[in-house]
Amino acid sequence: MTDVLPAWTAAEGAHRAQELFAATFGDRPAGVWAAPGRVNLIGEHTDYNDGLCLPLALPHCTFVALSPRPDRTAVLVSAQGSGTRTVDLDTVGRAGTTHEVAGWPAYVAGVAWAMVEEGLDVPGFQIAVDSCVPFGAGLSSSAAIECATAVALDDVASLGLLQADDPGRARLGALCVRAENEIAGAPTGGMDQAIAMRGKPGHALLLDVADGSARHVPLDLDASGLSLLVIDTRAPHQLVDGQYARRREVCEAAAHALGVPSLRVVSDAVADGGEDLASVLARLHDDEQRRRVRHVVTEIARVRELVEVLESAPGGVLEGDRLAEAGRLLDASHTSLASDYEVSCPELDLAVETARSAGAHGARMTGGGFGGSAIALVDSASMDTVADAVAAAFANRGFTPPAFLLATASAGAGPVTGNLEET
């Protein structure tokens, strides 16, 4: 039987972060906070087009132990990094400028920077990070570290945003997007931070990036005897940064050519029958733009369809035609991402194809692509069969062995309370 990567319990994650904090700073932290990684059920490469997506928070979290300091310095250590780093919060500069923050501390210092930019008063701090979210696996370890830092700073600086519930969470998420875009220099679209802040157990999050609104959509796979198997392909994806930015640019150029502020406007016009997709595409003279637009518009439509399937399932139980339709939508999303959006890779295609032939109801790549992870909707009873088949297919092709996780819809970022051990 293939192993599934376990999620740490809150107590275990807190213990690890506290231990690292004590070993590094010789002290106890003011507290421990956590934020989850995520998988996106459907709606890929739609967020930066003001579109819709449907992510869920993983049970796998990043934990931060943090204490404020009386100065404007951040001292950082991570179990996933090497050594201790010091950043002067008053000289944090944007990515690509002389004062840019090199490496992973940008994701942490960037959050404090964004808070200061927006007039919030945050102190210097020391922070120890540990995480069971796989790194660079398309499961958004970057949003997890940002959002854990954001709720920690919100708490120690008494900003009150977490207490302001969903609007406060949305605001913290938006600050983390600024950290990632402007300080870490990754032009991501906002889905990752929204779900890491606003996730709810037993629910996926229908996120409308156009206005930042969100709706929790029931996703009780257990009740349906289903599991969402995450396959981390562990494929090297060195091209991802430039390719992601390129996709975003082409979408913006296509929107410009069509005379609309974003491709969401096109998607809405097609959805309400005011336009048909073929005539929109015919107005574009660039084949690359046509294919990218076709993906974005059809993908936003698939998000709407999947939400309808989930919300219409009696008692939340997904079975019969509804289950088949959900699987078909996942499959169609993958095909569109692979052929029209061209962000898949041999490892992702193999994971998806093998999962389907081994009995998955549907499967697709998730996250930015060019490596990272795929998801497969499987009967819980056949999870091992599917995972074993994927592992065997990878071995057969000489690929790095994949890792497997189970995605159960979990909570968003917050303080880790209860059952914390003394260190």
What are the catalytic residues? 192
Binding partner at 63 among Mg ion, ligand ADP, none, C-beta below 5 to 8 Å by kind: none
Of the candidate spans 53-61, 91-99, 141-149, 295-303, the one that interacts with ligand ADP by CB under 6 A turns out to be: 141-149
Which of residues 186 and 330 has its CB atom nearest to ligand ADP in the complex? 186
Sole binder of Mg ion in the list 40, 131, 142, 408 (CB under 5 A): 142
Sole binder of ligand ADP in the list 40, 141, 336, 408 (CB under 6 A): 141
Which of residues 17 and 310 has its CB atom nearest to ligand ADP in the complex? 17
- Amino acid sitting at position 186: A
Binding partner at 78 among ligand ADP, Mg ion, none, C-beta below 5 to 8 Å by kind: ligand ADP
Q: What residues pair up with 364 in beta bridges, in sequence order? A: 375
Which of residues 62 and 140 has its CB atom nearest to Mg ion in the complex? 140
- Buried-state track 213-231, b at ≥16 Cβ within 10 A, e below 16: ebebbebbbeebebbbbbb
Sole binder of ligand ADP in the list 71, 91, 135, 249 (CB under 6 A): 135
In the window 66-85, what residues touch ligand ADP (CB under 6 A)?
A: 78, 80-81
Transcribe 93-116 into DSSP letters: B-TTSTTBPPSTHHHHHHHHHHHH
In the window 175-214, what residues touch ligand ADP (CB under 6 A)?
A: 186
Cα–Cα distance for residue pair 319/107, rounded to 1 Å: 41
Q: What residues pair up with 75 in beta bridges, in sequence order? A: 86, 126
Binding partner at 145 among ligand ADP, Mg ion, none, C-beta below 5 to 8 Å by kind: ligand ADP
Instruction: Identify which of 119, 127, 216, 231 has the alpha carbon closest to the alpha carbon of residue 171.
Output: 119
Transcribe 303-326 into DSSP letters: HHHHHHHHHHSGGG---HHHHHHH
Q: How far is the CB of 407 from ligand ADP (least distance, A)?
A: 14
Cα–Cα distance for residue pair 407/210, rounded to 1 Å: 27
Of the candidate spans 24-32, 123-131, 142-150, 244-252, the one that interacts with Mg ion by CB under 5 A turns out to be: 142-150
Q: How many other β-carbons are positioned within 10 Å of the β-carbon of residue 324?
A: 14
Verify binding: residue 181, Mg ion, rule CB under 5 A: no
Q: Quickly tell me which residue has 């192993």 as its tokens.
A: 3
Q: Would you tell me which residues interact with Mg ion (CB under 5 A)?
A: 140, 142
Q: Would you tell me which residues interact with ligand ADP (CB under 6 A)?
A: 62, 78, 80-81, 104, 107, 129, 131, 135-142, 145, 186
